[in-house]
Each structure stands twice: as structure tokens, then as C-alpha cells.
Amino acid sequence: MKILLFLFFTVLINSVIWTITVPMWHTPDEQSHFAQLEYYVEQKTLIIDDQYNLSAEIAQSEQLLGTRRDNRGNNKFTYHPEYKLPASRSFEGIYERTINSYPISQRSQMVDREAAMYSPVYYLLAAPLYLQGYNLGLIDRLFVSRILSILVHVILAVVVYIFGRKLWGGTVLPVSLVVLVSLQPMISFVAAGFHPDNLLFLLYTLAILISLLIIRNGVRWSYLLLLAITVYLGWQTKIFMGFLFPTIVALLLHQFLYSRSKLLALIVGMGTLLVPILVLIIQLPLPFVPLVSNTSPLRNYSLFEYLKFRVPKMAFEVWPWYWGVFKWLGVVLPLPVLRVITRVTLLIIVGMTIWAGKNIFKRPVPFTTRATLFLILVSVTYVAYLLVWDWRNMQVAGFSVGIQGRYLLPAVAAH
């Protein structure tokens, strides 16, 4: 118990240090997410204006701090690691007094488009914190709102520990898993800021944990209810939660059919995993699915051409970003560190392949083997769905919206 308390305290302190160290608007798209929170609270509505959803105070603060984006989505920091603001020679930040002195009237004065336009759950959870610091300046309100990310990050550590206990038992491996997940640099960076990805990481991990319980104990109504609630809350946080839904359905169908016909269970389960890809390829009109029309700028851009473009970027751009990309895409982990990580990962892939060859045909199949195969499936299908979704999105938008390394982190516990 002392080890666990020390572990969770360490995760908490790590998260607090990151939070107070990372400057305002320097975590991924933080100004967009705080703009959405501020809009909800100040306008007292969940219906956001498409064109005017950025307050005057946030716009002015971004201008001072160099994070105001141009029409191509770049600011003074983007791809410029050498750029930095002058340091203050006192305890007070160089623009702190100015930013914290904006009048309350500027919070409801909308001047531009910036809000993230995400689903509302994370922002509703943050609203009480925002209101708690309502009479404070902009910087103080942001850091008060960041407390939600700290809390969610610590809860993620608890869920990951339970995840490890259910998978392996004992203490050493579950504690190791918490360290690998909670102290992962990019996760720590995202958790330092105000961002709904933190809640998505937690809910995605919780849904995978419940799936492991189903693999271990069979289908129960309590598990189905918890899964339904978790997936729904995840969907109302970020649509990427939908990438796990087909895998869960495939698991449930496999569980129901396995006792009747192992071959049928395998065919139905694998067929279910192909449904999202087919939906995107044949263009079924479903919510949040990009629909390519005759007016789409890249309607003739084939999946093959897209993969030729995207796969190299996944290997040489997204892979380093997965481990940590800071200062508005300007700084990654040192190259020697990334080389070590890459070589270890290749060794892991070889080891996992040998392990699968030895264990997949064992009868009866042990729980750890079934669980590990499921986690591999979660990881692979997530990337497959993300790529096909991004391809269609690119056709509709006319340009590459881009895949960032943190987009892969919802499945980090499985990784």
C-alpha cells in the first residue's frame, strides 16, 4: 500500500510540476479549448456561433504571447524552436499584469473564430472550476481550470494500475505500467494544459479495462452498462472514442458465439472490425463521417495515393511526436533518445511475433494470451480507422488536416 500511495503521489507531483512550468497557451491548442469553455460559461449556452467564438481577452493575450495563429494555422512559435519571448526579471511575468487586467466585458465580446467546437463533457466538468475563479484574471482562471487535467491524470494512473492488476496480478508489472503511461512525456505535456484529450485518455483506458473484465469473466449486464456509459461519455468528449466501438462490438459478438462455433465467432468478429472501413469507403451518411461529394477538392485522391503520402509521415513525424512534441511542434525528444526507443520497439515487435507464434494455438487459450491479442487488436484497428477517416477528411477539406502523435494516445495503455 505504501508503494502505491508513493506512486500516485509521484504522479500527482509530476503533473503539478508540468502544469505550473508549461506557459499559458503552450499545450496543444489550449487557447481553442479554453475559448470554448469561456464561451459556454459567459454566453450561458452550449450552442456555439461558428464564426465568432473567440473572446477579445483571449485574442489580445495571444497577440502579446505570440501564439495568435495566421490563416495557415501557424504562429510565431510554430516550427521555430529558436523563437522565444523575452524573460521577465521579476517574479511577475512580462505581460502578466496586462493580461490579468482585461475587463470582464471582454470575456463575452467575440471577435474571431477559435473555439475547438468539440463535444461538451470536458468543458462542463471544468465549468465549476472556471466559476470558482471567476473574479480572477485570465491567466489565473486558466491555471485554475488546468486543475481538472491534473485530477483526470491522477485518476488515469489509478485505472491503469487496476488495468495491470487484472492483466497480470502482483504489483511490479502494474506499477511499471503506471510509470510507463503516466510519466510518458507527451501524456504529461497534454495533462499540463486544459485539453479534453486528458478525459479521452481516461475513458478510452477505462473502456479497454472493462473489455478485459469481459474477456476474463464473461459478459455481464453490469459490464455492458458501464461500457455503454463510458463509451457515450467518451463520444461526448471526442469522436475518436468511436474508433473503439467496433472493436468492443466484435468482442461481444465473439463472446456470444464462441461456445456455439469457434469458426463463426472468428468470422463474425473479424467482419465486424471491417465495418468502419467499409462505411468510410462506400460513403454511408453517418454522423461525424466525412462525406466526399462532387464539389470536394480532392474527391479523386485515392486511398493508395493517400497512404503513399501518410505512411512516411507516420514513421518520421508522428512517431517522434507520439513521445513528445513541444513548443508548438518545434521541439521533440533528443535524437539519440528516439533512436533508442525505435530500436527497443523493433525488438519488442520481434518478441511479440515470437510470443504470438508460441501461444496463439495453445488450448485452452489462457486469459493473458486472449487479453494481449485483444490489446494488439485495439492498437491496430485504432490506427486503421484513424487513417481511413483522415483520408476522407483530407478529400473533403482539400488539404491535410494532419495526424499528430497524441492522436494515438487514447490506446496508450494497450500499447
pLDDT by residue (tens digit) across 313-335? 999 999 999 999 999 988 999 99
Residue 340's identity, in one-letter code, is V
Express each pLDDT in 245-284 by its tens digit.
Answer: 999 999 999 888 887 787 888 888 888 898 888 888 888 8
- Core vs surface per residue 168-183: b (16+ CB within 10 A) or e: eeeeeebbebbeebbe
pLDDT band at 30; cut points 50, 70, 90 = very high
pLDDT at 193: 96
**Confidence check: pLDDT of 179 > 90:** yes
Residue 291, pLDDT > 80, answer yes
With contact defined as beta carbons under 8 Å apart, do 67 and 75 qualify?
yes
Residue 256 has a pLDDT of 86
Q: State the Cα–Cα distance between residues 32 and 48, nearest whole angstrom.
A: 13
Q: How confident is the model over 94-117, as a mean pLDDT?
A: 93
- pLDDT score of 395 more than 80: yes
Q: Which of 288-297, 365-374, 387-396 has the highest mean pLDDT?
A: 387-396
Q: For 3, list phi and psi in degrees, rounded to 5.
A: -60, -45
122 or 83, higher pLDDT: 122
Asked if residue 286 has pLDDT above 80, the reply is no
- Max CA distance (Å), the chain: 73
How much is the pTM? 0.94
CA distance 215 to 307: 34
Q: What is the DSSP letter of 217?
A: H
Say if CB 378 and CB 357 are below 8 A apart: no
Measured CA to CA, the distance from residue 87 to residue 95 in angstroms comes to 10
Query: What is the rounded average pLDDT for all residues in the chain?
Result: 92
Per-residue confidence (pLDDT) for residue 203, from 0 to 100: 98
Note whether 188 and 198 are within 8 A (CB): no
C-alpha cell at 91: 517574479
Task: Give yes or no for residue 363 having a pLDDT over 80.
Answer: no
Q: What is the pLDDT of residue 337?
A: 95
Query: Number of C-alpha atoms within 13 angstroms, CB side, residue 153?
Result: 33
Q: What is the pLDDT of residue 44?
A: 93
Phi-psi region of 78 (alpha: psi -120 to 50; beta: other; left: phi over 0): beta
Give the whole-number percent of the chain exceeding pLDDT 90.
Answer: 74
Residue 361 has pLDDT above 80, yes or no: no
In single-letter form, the type of residue at position 131 comes to L
Mean pLDDT of 134-156: 96
